[in-house]
Structure 1
Amino acid sequence: MTNKKAILKSISSMKPLSASATRLMTIVSDPDHSIAEIVAVVRNDAVLTGNVLRLVNSAAFGLAVRIETVERAVSYVGGNMVAGIAMGLCVPHVFNDPLEGYNSERGALWRHSLRTAIAAREIARTARQGASPPIAYTAGIMHDIGKGVISAHLAGHGEELEAAAKAHEPPDFLAAEMEITGTTHCEVGEALANHWNLPDPLAQVVTHHHHPANADPEYKSLVYAVHLADYAVMLGGTGTGTDTLLYGLDEDYMDHSPVTPAQLEGIIRDSEQELEKAAEALIGNG
C-alpha cells in the first residue's frame, strides 16, 4: 500500500505526447472529423508519414500499385490506425515493452489493445446511442495505458496477485492490484490520460472500462462497448498475461449494445483476422 504515491508521481516525469499524436487524438475523437484533417497532421510529421506509407505498402495490404502520397495512404489505412501508429511511435515503452507485472511478452499489450479496438468499433455499431464506432476504436487502443506504468510495481507478485483476484466472486484483478500497490491500472491510466490531456471520451474509457456503470452518462454506451470488447477478446485468447479473464463482466451492456451471442462470436473471430493484418506494422513501431 506504499507504492501509490510513487506510481502516480512517476507519471509527471513522463514525456508529453508529440504534437502530432495529441492532434490526432483530438481529431479522431470528433465523430465528424474528416480525412483531410488527418492528412494535414501526417503531412507535417516526417516520421509518421514514413510509417503510414510503410504500412500501406506492406504485404498485409496486398495492393498491386505502390502508394506514394499521404492522401492515398491515409485513405487506405484509415484515420484510427494512423492515430494508433502515432501513439506507438510516441510511447513504445507503454505499449510495446513486456509487462513484467502481468507476466506477458513484448507486444502483448499492443495486440490486446488493437484487437479490443477492432471489436469495440463493431460493438459500437450496435449501440442504441452515444457510441461512435471510430471513437470506440481509438478508445480501445488507449483503454489499458495504465498497465504500462503500473506493471513494474507488480513484478514479482504474480502468484499473490492471481490468488487475491480469485478470492473475489467474480474474480477481480483490480482489487488485487489495489492490495499490492494501493492503486489500479485504471486509476493510473486516468492520471496518465490527464497528463497527456486526452479528450474526455478516451479518458472516460481509460478510467471506467472495468466498471462502465460509473462512467458519465453521455459516455456510458462508449465505455460499455469497450468493456465488452475487452472481455470478448480475452475470451478469444488475446489478453495481457496473468490478469486475463480475472475481471467481472457487467451484463448491463445489453442495455447499451444489445449484441447477440452470434454477433459477438463473429466479432471475436473477425477481430482476430483483422488484428493479424495490422499487427506487424503497429507492433513493429516499438
Structure 2
Amino acid sequence: MSSMTLDTLVQRTGRLLAIPRVVGEVLKLLSDPDSRQSAIAALLAHDPALVAIVLRLANSPAFAPARTVDSVERAIMLLGRDHLRRLVIAGAVTQASERLPMQNLLPLEVFWRHSAYCAVIARLLAELEAPDLAGTVFLGGLMHDLGQLILFSQAPEAAHLAFLRSLSEPDSISPQSAERAELGFDHAQLGGALAAHWGLPDVLCACLRFHHSPLDAPETFRLPVVLVHLANTGAHLAELDSRDWRDAPPVDPAVWAAVRMRPEALLESVEKAQHQVLAVEALRNPQLAG
C-alpha cells in the first residue's frame, strides 16, 4: 500500500490546482442577490481565459441556448445566476486541470472526452427524470472522474498498479477496490475530498464522492448522484460506440429501482450524446468547434 494519505494528496493537489481568487469572489457575488450584474462581469474580466471558456460552454448546443450569449452580463440575464455559477466552476476546474503534469496513462484528451460524454448524458437523463437538476448533473458529470486524473498525475505508480490489478482480476476486484487496496482510498473519495477542499456545493461533492456507489449517497443528493452514475455507464458505451451492457460498468438493479426511467432511456441518451459531445469538448479546445 502507498504511504500517501488522502489528506496529503488533497492538500498537495489543492495547492497545485488552486482555483484563482477571482473565482471565489465571483461566486460570492453570484450568491448575493443585491450584487449588480456589471460588478460580476467586471470582476470576471480579470480572467479573460475563464470568460472565454464560460461563454463557449454557455453557447454550446449541449445547453441548447435560444439566443447567443456574447457577454457575461447577457449570460446572467439569459441563463440566471445559478447556471452561470455552474459555468464558472466548470471553467475554473477546466483551467486548473491544464496545470497538472503531463502523463501518458490518462491523457487529458481521453479524460475530457469521457467527462464530456458523462456530462451530456447526465443532463439528458435529468431532462427525463428531474429537469431542475439538469445543470447540476451536467457539472457533476463533467467533474466526476477528477480524482482519477489526479491519481494518474500525482501517484502514477500506485494508480497504474491498481489499474493492472483490476485488469488481471476483473471478476473479483473492481477498479475502485484495487485503488483502495493500493492506496487506502479510491479516485471517487479523492475527487469528493478535493471538491470539499475547494468549497464547492455539497451536491457536487456527493456526485464526485459517490458516483460509483450512488446508493451510499446521502438521501438529499441521491437522485443527482444516481443520474451521474448512470451517465458514467452510458459514457463508456458512447466512447466504444457500443450498446452492449457488457462493455460498460454494470448497473445494480437497485439503482434502476431508484429512478423511474427504463434502461432503454439510457441507451437513447447515449445516441443523442454522440451528436452533442464535440461541442462540449470544445470547452477545452476551441479548434474542435470547427
When residues 66 and 137 of structure 1 are mapped into structure 2, their CA distance, relative to the original with a 3 A threshold, is: closer
In structure 1, C-alpha distance between the alignment counterparts of 2:251 and 2:188, rounded to whole Å: 16
Aligned to 2:281: 279
Per the alignment, do residues 258 and 54 of structure 1 end up closer, same or farther by CA in structure 2, a change over 3 Å counting? Answer: closer
Choose 18-27 or 224-233, whichever is displaced more. Answer: 18-27
SS of the residue 1:258 aligns to: coil
Specify whether residues 267 and 25 from structure 1 end up closer, same or farther in structure 2 by C-alpha distance, changes over 3 A only. Answer: farther
CA contact (8 A) 1:107 1:283 kept: no
Q: Distance in 1 between matches of 2:128 and 2:59?
A: 32
Q: What is the letter of the counterpart of residue 150 of structure 2?
A: V
Equivalent residue letter for 2:136:
I
TM-score by length of 1: 0.75
1:190-243 superposed Cα distances (whole Å, 9 cap, x missing partner): 22122211210011111111001110011001110000001111112269xxxx
The answer as to 2:2 corresponding to 1:2 is yes
Aligned partner of 2:92 among 63, 86, 94:
86
Matches within 5 A, 1:139-178: 139-151=140-152, 152-154=156-158, 156-157=160-161, 158-164=163-169, 166-168=170-172, 172-178=174-180
5+ residue gaps, structure 2: none
Asked if 1:254 is matched to 2:256, the reply is: yes
Q: Is the 8 A contact 1:26 1:198 kept in 2?
A: no
- 3-state SS of the aligned residue for 2:259? coil
Aligned to 1:113: 115
Q: Which residue of 2 aligns with 1:126?
A: 128
Distance 1:66 1:235, change over 3 A: closer
2: CA distance, partners of 1:173 / 1:37 = 47
Contact (CA 8 Å) 2:144, 2:207: kept in 1 or not?
yes
Structure number with the higher helix fraction is 2
Q: Is the 8 A contact 1:208 1:215 kept in 2?
A: yes
Higher RCO (C-alpha under 8 Å, 6+ residues apart): 1
Partner of 1:227: 229
CA 1:180–1:24: 2 relative to 1, 3 Å: farther
In the alignment, residue 272 of structure 1 is paired with which amino acid? Q
Residue identity opposite 2:166 in structure 1: L
Distance in 2, matches of 1:73 and 1:201, equals: 23
Q: Distance in 1 between matches of 2:128 and 2:28?
A: 24
TM-score by length of 2: 0.74
Instruction: Check the 8 A contact 1:48/1:86 in 2, yes or no.
Output: yes
Judge conservation of contact 2:237–2:248 (CA < 8 Å) in 1. no
Change (3 A) 1:253 1:125: farther
User: Residues 211 and 250 of structure 1 are in contact (CA less than 8 Å); yes or no, is this contact kept in structure 2?
Assistant: no
Query: Kindly, what percent of the aligned residue pairs are identical?
Result: 23
**Which residue matches 2:214?**
212
**Secondary structure of 1:107's match?**
helix
Q: Name the CA distance, whole Å, in 2 between partners of 1:23 and 1:251.
A: 43
In the alignment, structure 1 segments of 5+ residues that lack a partner are: none
Question: What's the CA shift string for 1:17-54, capped at 9, x where partnerless?
Answer: 223444677899x9x9xxx5996464453332244456
Q: Report the alpha carbon displacement of residue 119 of structure 1 after superposing the two structures with TM.
A: 0.9
- Stretch moving more, 110-119 or 40-49: 40-49
CA shift in 2, pair 1:147/1:37, >3 Å: farther
Q: Give 1:186's match in structure 2, choosing from 176, 179, 188.
A: 188
In 1, Cα distance between equivalents of 2:232 and 2:196: 22
